[in-house]
Amino acid sequence: MSKYFEIRWHGRGGQGAVTGAKSLAECVQGTGQTVVAFPEYGPERRGAPVRAYNRFCKEHIRIHTPVTVPDVVIVIDASLLTLPMVKEGILEHTIFLVNIEKTPDQVRKILGIENRVITIPANELSEKLFGRAIPNSAMLGAFAMACPNIISLEVLLREATHVFSELVGADLVEKNLQAIQLGHDNSHAG
């Protein structure tokens, strides 16, 4: 196992995988860890599968290569679950965090794996809050539920206050904090 905690995000162009990785890194930075976030570099096409990556570590992070052996796989768009790339390089301990209105068991069946799965209906939650599907903040809350050793909900909410005030402006901070809380409370682990 690498000394780095490594995350691979899967989404479709325009859904916010890159912003999600960036926001998560900015929040985790507040825990004193060294962070890295970067997208898979390629042509930007709305709707096409995209990947983004995070590395977190207590030490300086020297490597820049894409994450090939993820500790966590975050899937923002459930239609990607059938693609082999989602399962690339996973180990027994790899956790899947999936934006879907299904149970962890159902997702395990789709993926054909035994790994730990956290599901979260982030689209539904964000539709209620924002009137459209912008799942990122709820996904962050679910991440804090899945990996409290990396960032606890309490610290996430604190850091997100700063991060979101720069990203979306002060007026939308409160709603995003709510989304984080709801994401945390409504995720299903199994």
Partner 1 sequence: MKHVAGKPKILPITGAGAMAQAMRQINPDVVAAFPITPSTQIVEDFSQFVADGKVDTEFVTVESEHSAMSACIGASAAGGRVMTATSSAGMAYMWELLYVAASMRQPVLMSLVNRALTGPINIHCDHSDSMGARDSGWLQIYSENNQEAYDNLVMAARIAEHDDVRLPIMICQDGFIISHSIQTMQIEDDAAVKAFVGAHKPYHPILDTKNPVTWGALDLQDYYIEHKRGQEQGMKNALRVIEEVSVDFAKKFGRKYNLFETYRIEDAEIVMVAIGSAAGEIKEVIDELRTKGEKVGLLKIRSFRPFPYAQIAKALSHAQIITVLDRSASFGAHGPLFVEITTSVYNYCDNRPLLLSHTYGLGGRELSMQMIEHVFAESRICLDKGEVNGRQGMWLNVRGD
- Supply the minimum distance, in Å, between the C-beta of residue 43 and partner 1: 9
Under rule CB under 8 A, residue 29 binds partner 1 = yes
C-beta closer to partner 1: residue 90 or 125: 90
- Supply the minimum distance, in Å, between the C-beta of residue 75 and partner 1: 21
The binder of partner 1 chosen from 14, 45, 48, 63 (CB under 8 A): 63
- Supply the minimum distance, in Å, between the C-beta of residue 28 and partner 1: 9
Under rule CB under 8 A, residue 26 binds partner 1 = yes
Under rule CB under 8 A, residue 36 binds partner 1 = yes
Under rule CB under 8 A, residue 41 binds partner 1 = yes
Which of 52, 87, 95, 105 is closest to 71 using CA atoms?
95
